[in-house]
Structure 1
Amino acid sequence: MPTEVALLESHALRVERMGRVDALDKVKSLVMLPDGIHVRTDDVARYFEVSTEVIKKVTQRHRAEVEENGLRLLRGSELRIFHRDMVSLWGGEGSGSYPQAATQLTLYTRRTVLNVAMLLRDSDIARCVRTYLLDAEEDLRASIASLDQRVTRVEGCLVGVGSALQELGPVLSRMSHRLDVLDRKLDVTHQVVGAISLRLTDVSQDIVRLDARMDDFARHLKDLSRSRHS
Structure 2
Amino acid sequence: YDDVIRVADLKTRGSRFERVRQEVGAKADQLVYTTEYMHPRLEEICGTLPTALGRWLEQSKGIGGFVKRRMEKGRRVQTGTLTWFLALYAVAGMRRFRRSLLRHQIETAQLREWLDRVVRLAGNGQHALAVEVLHCRRIVKGYSGTHDRGDKRFASLMTAADRLAAPGTDPADAAATLHKLLEAAMADEEGRQLDAQLALLLTAAKGSTTNSAQFSRQAA
TM-score (norm 2): 0.22
User: Which of the two has higher C-alpha Rg?
Assistant: 1
